[in-house]
Structure 1
Amino acid sequence: MTLTEMLDRSVRTFGPATALRDDTRAVTYTELGARVGDVAAALVARGCRPGDRVALALPNVLEFAYLYYGIARAGGIAVPLNPGLRRAEMRRLLADCTPRLLLAWAGIPFLTEGEGAANGEGAANGGHTDDLGIDVVVLDPTSLADFAPRDESPPLVPRRGDDLAVLLYTSGTTGEPKGAMLTHDNLVVNAQVDQGLVEMGPHDVLLGALPLFHAFGQTCCLNLPLVSGSEVVLHATFNPRHALTAVGENGITVFLAVPAMYTALLHLLSRLPEEYDLDSLRMTISSGAPLAVELLHRVEERFGVVMLEGYGLSETSPTATLNVEGRRRPGTVGTPLPGVQIRILDQETGEPVGGDGGGVDVVGEVAIRGHNVMRGYWNAPEATAAVLSPDGWLRTGDLGRLDADGFLTIVDRKKDLVIVGGENVFPREVEEVLYAHPAVAECAVLGVPDARRGEVVGAAVVLAENTEATEAELRAHVRARLRSVKVPRHVWFVDALPKGGTNKILKREIALPEELRLPV
C-alpha cells in the first residue's frame, strides 16, 4: 500500500471528522484529501515526475501534511528538512538530494540570512538557491492557494509499495547526515503495526508537537493518527505551557514526546501543579532518546497514565520495538514489532552472539531486519554496505542486550562509549544513576581526555530549579551505586544542554570546561 492509498482510504472512511488542527484552523479528512490533490496537480504542472525529489522545509503547520501527501500523490519523493537549519547546512543537503523543488516556509533562516539568501518570489514564482539551480517556492498560510489552484483535477500517478516515498536525513548526531531511503511500504506498514499495538482509533486526539521533519514525528504524529482516523493537534514548535494547556483544551488522549520534553513538562508542573487539566490523557509514549527509569516513573506518577517506551531509528521508519500496555518492562524498550527481528552482534567480529544473535544478557551491537528497514542511504553505497547486509540486517550502532523474554535494553550508542584505562563504561548507566538524584534535572555523561588513562568519565549537569548540589555530592551519589571506574571524575554544572531540532541532547556539542581540555 502507498501513502496515497492509505490517505484515500482514511478520507473515504472518516470524511467529515476533523483530521488536523492548529491554534486557529482545522480541516476534515475530506478537506485534507482535496488539498492534497490540489498540491499534486500543482506539482505535476511544475514538471514533477515520478521519482523526482521535492524538498520541504516547514514547521508543524497544516501545510506540511498537504505537501507531504501531495508529493506522494504526484509520484515524487518527499525530502523533509529541518526548517531551522542554517543556510550552509541546508545547501549541503540540497546538493546531495538535488530536488526539483524546495517548498519553504516564509521566514526560515535559509531564506533570510546572508547576502546570498535564496530569492524565492512567493508561491506563484520559483526563485533559485544560488548556484544549485533549484527552484524555491515560498509558502505561508495565505499563498498555498496560489501555488495549488483548485480548478485542476488531481492527477493519478501510479506507484507501488516498494517505490521510494521519503528521503529522510539522519540527525547527524554521530557524523554527517545521510539520506535514509524509505519506501511506501516501510512507512505505511510501520504506521499500521503501531496502530494495532497502541489501539489508536477515531476516539483519539493526539498532540503533534514532535517535529514532522523527523522520523518519530512523521510516522507517529502524522501517518499513525491519520491511518487510525484520529485527530492531530499540531504545534509549530514545542512549548511546555502550550502543550499542557492543549491537553485540557483539546481533549488530548495520546501524548508523544522525547525524554527532554517530558523533563520540561515535569519542571513546569512542579511550579504550577493546579493549573493544567490532564484528565483526558490515556497514554504517554517516549522514544527518540534514552529514557531514564526514574523519569518514566515520575511521568507516570504526575500524569496518572501509563508510559510506553519504544525504540527505532530514521533507518527503521522509525519504530522497531515497543513496550505495549499489559506487556511492558520499564528500563527496556520493549519487544520487536510483529514482522521485525532483533539480534545482537559481537562488537569485535560482527557475528551474531550465541550463533543466532539471541544470546541472553550479552551486550553487543543491535541489528534489525524487517518491513521497516530502509533500502539504503541516498548516493552513499559504501555507507549503505557498512550498515546493511545483503540479507537485510541493519547494524544500528547501538549497544544493547536481549533478556530471556525478548525484551531489548539499549545500553548506549557504540560511539558514545567511554573507555577508561581499557575498560568500557556505558554513559547511559551513569546517567540513570544521576537522574535518580533529586537535584538533577538533566545530565549528559561523556568522555573527558586524560593524559594517563586516555579518557575518564565526565558529567555535564543541569540542576532542577530551587535545588543545590555539589560535584562531591553527585560523585558520592554515583559511587554508592556503581564501581569506581564509572564514577565521574569531573562534574560541571551548566544552565542548559545543547539539543538538536528533535530535542535530543547533542553530546558532540557539549563544551568541556577550559581546565579539562588537554593542551594541543
Structure 2
Amino acid sequence: MSPGSSRSWVPDLPSVADLDAWGIDPAWSNSVVVPSHDGGTHRWHVLDTGPTLAAAGRAPIATMVCVHGNPTWAYSWATFLRSFGDRYRVIAVDQLGMGFSERTPLRRYATRVRDLDDVISALGLDPDIPLTLAAHDWGGAVAMGWAVDHADQVAGMVLCNTGIAVPAGRRSPSIIRLAASPALRDLVCRRTPTFVNGTTLLSRGKINAADRAAFRAPYPSAAHRAAVADFVGDVPLQPGGGHPSEDALADVAQRLHAVDAPVLLAWGSADPVFNDDFAADLAERLPNTSIQRFPTANHLVMAEADVAGTVDLWLSDRFEQPQTAAVAIPAAPTERRSLWSALETRHGDDDIAFADMASGKRITWTDLADRVDRIATELAARGLRHGDRVAMLTPPGIELAAAIYGVWRAGGVAVVADRGLGLSGLRRAVRSARPAWVIGPKSALAAARTLRWAPRAQGVDINDLMSADASVLPSAPAADDFAAILFTSGATGPAKGVRYRHRQLEAQRDALAAAYSITSTDRLLAAFAPFALYGPALGISTVLPDCDVTTPGKLSAAAFAGACAELDATLAFASPAALANVVATASDTSADAALERLRLIMSAGAPVPAETLAAIGAFAPNAVMHTPYGMTEVLPVADIDLAGIQAATVDEPAGGVCVGRPVAGATVMILPLDFDPAAAPRAVDSGITGEIVVNAPWVSDGYLGLWATERAARPNVGDGQCWHRSGDVGHLDVKGRLWVEGRAVHNVHTSEGVVTSVPVERKVERDLDLTRVAAVGVGPHGCQQLVVVLEDSASNDGLASTDLTARIRSTVDYPVAAVLTLRSMPVDIRHNAKIDRTAVAAWANDVLAGRRATAPGARRLPGRR
C-alpha cells in the first residue's frame, strides 16, 4: 500500500548510504515478518547485532531487546548497538506504525504490549541466554507491560526517561498535554513535523546534525506520522477520565513490584517530559533499582550522554564479572551513642553550647537541647516521617545546628549543600535530592519556591520551629537509618550527594574524638562552617568567627582571636586560606591570652604549607598544628602534625604532601594507577605511586542517584570490605606514612609515563618561594607536555619571562614544555585553596596554541569536594 491509505502499508527501508551516514552497520538493519496475536502478520524493522555476532562466530553474553518511544525509532539505541553490540545481541525494534516498520491502524497500549510479545517470540531467542530489556519514553510503558507478564524471563531492565503513571502530586507533562489537546494534536503530530522536530530540539547542542537527520528520517510525510499522533492520543491525561488505555496502564503499575530483576534507571534530569519525579516513582514501584542521573541531559538521554558506557558496565557486573562475596556492613556498636546523645547528657548545663560572633547570638546546652527536642516534636506533628529528606537552607549558625539535630532526632534525612555552590549549584543539588521538606528563613523559602528548587516540598520557616512547644518526642531513628545527604563542593564536576547512615556519622564522630583526644572540656573555634556541626555531637562548645563562610580567605587575625576569647577555645579548625590570612593580618592583633589556651589547630581541604603552620604556631604558641586528611565521603583518613611534616620533608623532599599515618580504625591501600574497580586489583608496594583507597567504619554509604560514579568509587578488592576510591594519587612510604601527589584526573600523561602534579608544584613553591603553582598537561593523552603555571599578581597573563622559565626548568625533574603566569588562580569557594587545574590546563592550551584565552582566574569555582 502507498502512503495515505487507511490500511496497513510498509515504508521503504533506509538505504545503505543513509545507514552509513548515521553510523549504523547496514548488516544490522533487517525486516522481519511477525505473526500477530490478531491472526495476521506484520512487517517489523529491527536493528539487530545478532547476524554480525553469528558471522564472527561469537555467542552473545546476553540479549537486550530495546523499545523506543514516541516520536523516535530504533536509532534511539544506536549508541548501545555500537558500544556493546559486539558482545551482546542488541535488538532495537521499530514499533508498529513507527520508524520503518509497517504502518497500521490505531494501536492502543494493551495492543502494543502484545505486539512486543509477538516480535520477541518471532525472533527465536535462545532461552539459555539471559534476556534483558531497554526502553525509553512510552516504549518504557510497553516494555514494563511485557515484563510484568514475563517476570521469570527478565534478567534485567534498563529504563530511560519513561513512566508508567503520573507521579503523585503532579500533573501529566505539560508538553504532552499541549500536544494532545484536540485543537493541536493532529496539526503538530501528524500534518506537520512539529512534534518530531521538537523532540530533537529539546537536546539543543547535545546531539549533532547526523543524529537529528536520523531521528527525523522515518517521518517525512503526514502518512508516515499517523502513529505519532495516535501515540500521543493514547496517553491518559486525566486520572479517572475513562481513557481507553487507563486501566491497562494502571494494572501494569500495580504489578510492577513482581519484577524483581535488577533495573537501572538511566535518567536525563533536564528532561521537561519525564523528569526526576518519574524516576523516583519507578524506584518506589520496582523492588531492585539503581539510578544513574545525567544532570544536564534532556529527553534523548541515550544520544546526549554516555548512557551506553554506563549500561555496558551494568551488564558486565551482571553477566561477565565473577560473583564475589557481599560487602560486609559494619555493625553498629552494642552500646550506641546517638548523634544527639551529648545534648541529652549536657541538658541542665548552663554553659554556652554555641556562639555566633557575626550575629552575636549565644545558646546554652540546656536551651539547645530543648530547642532540638521542640523542633523534632514539631516536625513530627507536621507529618515528617522517618526517611523524609529535609533540605537545610538555613545559614550557618545556631539555627542551622538546632534544625539539623532536630531533623535527625525526628528521623529525617538532612540535605546539606553549602552556599559555595552558588545559586545554580544549590538548585541542582537540592532538586537532585528531591526533599519532602525545606527548612529555612522566609527569604530562603521564597527563593526556593521561585527558583523551583523543591517544587513539591513543604516549606517550614525556621523561626516557626524555634518557637514550637515541646511535647512527646517522636521515635528515634535506628543506627542503620539514613541521616544525611552531604554535597561535595563540585570542583571536579557537578556536586555529588553523599549518603550517610546514622551509624556512619556516629563512627565518624568517635573517630575524630579519638584522633584528637577531644573531651567535654574542649571548646571549638570552627572557621569552616560545616565543621561547626560536629560540636554538639562531640559534646563540645563551639564558636563561629565573624567571617563570611563563602570567603574563608578573609578571616582576620582579630576575628580569629576574638572568637577564641569568646569561649576560651582549646581547638580550632580553619581552611588553609583562612590560616594564611590570619598569618598575614597577625601584626594587627596584640598578644591575646585566649590564643595561648589553644592546644590544637587543624587545617584541611588542600595542602597546607609548613611555613603557614609554623607562622600560626607563633601566633598561638601552645597549639600543636595538625592537618587531617579526608574527604566528604570519608573523614578522617590520616593525620600529621607540623613536626611530622618537617621530618617527612627531610626524608622525602620530592614526595608530594605527607598527610601522615592512617587514624585508628582506618586502613589505607594504594592500588595501581588506572585500575579496573571491578577486577579485584592488588595493592602496590610501598614507594610506588598509585590511587589511594580507604576502608573505615565511617566510610559513607554511597552517592545519591549516581550508580556508575558509586561503582567506580567502590572498588572490589576481593576481601568483602567497603573501600572508597578517593580519587587522589600518592604512595605509602616504608614508615607507613601516606603521601598525596594530587588528583588522578590531574595526572599529566606524557610519552615517558605519568607525572603527578603536587610533587612538581611543591618543589617549585619551595625553591622559588611561591604561593600557588599548578602543574598541568597540555596535548593528547599519552603524549601530553608538562606546563607549569605560576600565580603572580604583578605579572601579565601568559608566557613567563625567559629567565623565570629557565629557573623552573632547572628546578623540576621532568621536561617542562612551557612556563606561564596568571595574575589569579581559579580556586574553590569552600576552602579558597584548591586550584582548578582542569581550567588552568584549558587556558594554557589556548595560550600555547595562539588562540584567544580568557584567564580562568577571572571567575571563582564552586569548589572541589
Q: TM-score range by the shorter chain?
A: 0.7 to 0.9
Question: How has the CA–CA distance of structure 1 residues 493 and 266 changed in structure 2, closer, same or farther, with 3 Å as cutoff?
Answer: farther
Equivalent residue, structure 1, for 2:763: 433
Equivalent residue for 1:161, pick from 452, 457, 479: 479
Per chain length, whose mean CA-contact separation is higher, i.e. which structure has more relative contact order (CA < 8 Å, sep 6+)? 1
Equivalent residue, structure 2, for 1:245: 562
Equivalent residue, structure 2, for 1:375: 701
Question: How has the CA–CA distance of structure 1 residues 252 and 322 changed in structure 2, closer, same or farther, with 3 Å as cutoff?
Answer: same
Whether the 8 Å CA contact 1:8–1:33 is kept in 2: the answer is no
Aligned residues: 488
1:349 counterpart = 2:675: yes
Residue-by-residue CA offset, 1:283-318 (whole Å, 9 max, x unaligned): 2112222233444444435543321111111111x2
Q: Structure 1 residue 450: deviation in Å?
A: 8.5
Q: What SS does the corresponding residue of 2:628 show, helix, strand or coil?
A: strand
Equivalent residue, structure 2, for 1:181: 499
Equivalent residue, structure 1, for 2:686: 360
Equivalent residue, structure 1, for 2:344: 11
Equivalent residue, structure 2, for 1:81: 417
Residue-by-residue CA offset, 1:204-225 (whole Å, 9 max, x unaligned): 221122132xxxx2xxx332x3
Q: Structure 1 residue 10: deviation in Å?
A: 4.0
Q: Distance in 1 between matches of 2:689 and 2:791?
A: 27
Higher helix share: 2
Equivalent residue, structure 2, for 1:489: 818
Q: Structure 1 residue 56: deviation in Å?
A: 0.6
Equivalent residue for 2:449, pick from 113, 118, 134: 118
Equivalent residue, structure 1, for 2:831: 502
Whether the 8 Å CA contact 2:343–2:365 is kept in 1: the answer is yes
1:264 counterpart = 2:581: yes
Equivalent residue, structure 2, for 1:123: none
Q: What SS does the corresponding residue of 1:441 show, helix, strand or coil?
A: coil
Q: What SS does the corresponding residue of 1:132 show, helix, strand or coil?
A: coil
Q: What SS does the corresponding residue of 1:31 show, helix, strand or coil?
A: helix
Q: Distance in 2 between matches of 1:393 and 1:130?
A: 33
Q: Structure 1 residue 53: deviation in Å?
A: 0.5
Whether the 8 Å CA contact 1:368–1:394 is kept in 2: the answer is yes
Equivalent residue, structure 2, for 1:59: 395
TM-score (norm 2): 0.52
**Bigger CA drift: 274-283 or 388-397?**
274-283
Equivalent residue, structure 1, for 2:747: 417
Q: Distance in 1 between matches of 2:454 and 2:692?
A: 42
Whether the 8 Å CA contact 2:569–2:597 is kept in 1: the answer is yes
Residue-by-residue CA offset, 1:447-475 (whole Å, 9 max, x unaligned): 3458995343131414599xxxx755654
Equivalent residue, structure 1, for 2:199: none
Q: What SS does the corresponding residue of 1:433 show, helix, strand or coil?
A: helix
1:330-341 equivalences under 5 Å are: 330=648, 331-341=657-667
Aligned AA (2:410): A
Q: Distance in 2 between matches of 1:343 and 1:482?
A: 28
Q: Structure 1 residue 138: deviation in Å?
A: 4.5
Aligned AA (1:34): D
Q: What SS does the corresponding residue of 2:503 show, helix, strand or coil?
A: helix
Whether the 8 Å CA contact 1:437–1:477 is kept in 2: the answer is no
1:436-475 equivalences under 5 Å are: 436=766, 440-449=770-779, 454-462=784-792, 471-472=801-802, 474-475=804-805
Q: Structure 1 residue 136: deviation in Å?
A: 3.1
**Bigger CA drift: 190-199 or 273-282?**
273-282
1:71-110 equivalences under 5 Å are: 71-105=407-441, 107=443
Equivalent residue for 1:136, pick from 437, 454, 459: 459
Listed as ranges, the gaps of 5+ residues in structure 2 are 1-331, 649-656, 853-865
Residue-by-residue CA offset, 1:192-248 (whole Å, 9 max, x unaligned): 121122112233221122132xxxx2xxx332x334432110245334222243234
Whether the 8 Å CA contact 2:686–2:734 is kept in 1: the answer is yes
Aligned AA (1:222): L
Question: How has the CA–CA distance of structure 1 residues 348 and 483 changed in structure 2, closer, same or farther, with 3 Å as cutoff?
Answer: same
Q: Distance in 2 between matches of 1:65 and 1:77?
A: 14
CA RMSD of aligned residues (A): 3.5
The percentage of aligned residue pairs carrying the same residue is 24
Q: Structure 1 residue 351: deviation in Å?
A: 8.1
Question: How has the CA–CA distance of structure 1 residues 362 and 437 changed in structure 2, closer, same or farther, with 3 Å as cutoff?
Answer: closer
Aligned AA (2:544): L
Larger Rg: 2
Q: Distance in 2 between matches of 1:256 and 1:490?
A: 35
Question: How has the CA–CA distance of structure 1 residues 275 and 167 changed in structure 2, closer, same or farther, with 3 Å as cutoff?
Answer: same
Equivalent residue for 1:300, pick from 614, 617, 630: 617
**Bigger CA drift: 418-427 or 197-206?**
418-427
TM-score (norm 1): 0.83
Residue-by-residue CA offset, 1:159-192 (whole Å, 9 max, x unaligned): 2222211111222222222211111111111111
Aligned AA (2:449): A
Whether the 8 Å CA contact 1:294–1:435 is kept in 2: the answer is no
Q: Distance in 2 between matches of 1:30 and 1:478?
A: 59
Equivalent residue, structure 2, for 1:125: none
Whether the 8 Å CA contact 1:340–1:369 is kept in 2: the answer is yes
Equivalent residue for 1:222, pick from 505, 512, 533: 533
1:20 counterpart = 2:354: yes
**Bigger CA drift: 437-446 or 41-50?**
437-446
Aligned AA (1:337): V
Higher strand share: 1
Whether the 8 Å CA contact 1:10–1:229 is kept in 2: the answer is yes
Q: Distance in 2 between matches of 1:181 and 1:366?
A: 21
Equivalent residue, structure 1, for 2:382: 46
Q: Distance in 2 between matches of 1:506 and 1:106?
A: 35
Aligned AA (2:691): E
Question: How has the CA–CA distance of structure 1 residues 51 and 327 changed in structure 2, closer, same or farther, with 3 Å as cutoff?
Answer: same
Whether the 8 Å CA contact 2:343–2:369 is kept in 1: the answer is no
Question: How has the CA–CA distance of structure 1 residues 282 and 512 changed in structure 2, closer, same or farther, with 3 Å as cutoff?
Answer: same
Question: How has the CA–CA distance of structure 1 residues 435 and 166 changed in structure 2, closer, same or farther, with 3 Å as cutoff?
Answer: same
Q: Structure 1 residue 446: deviation in Å?
A: 2.8
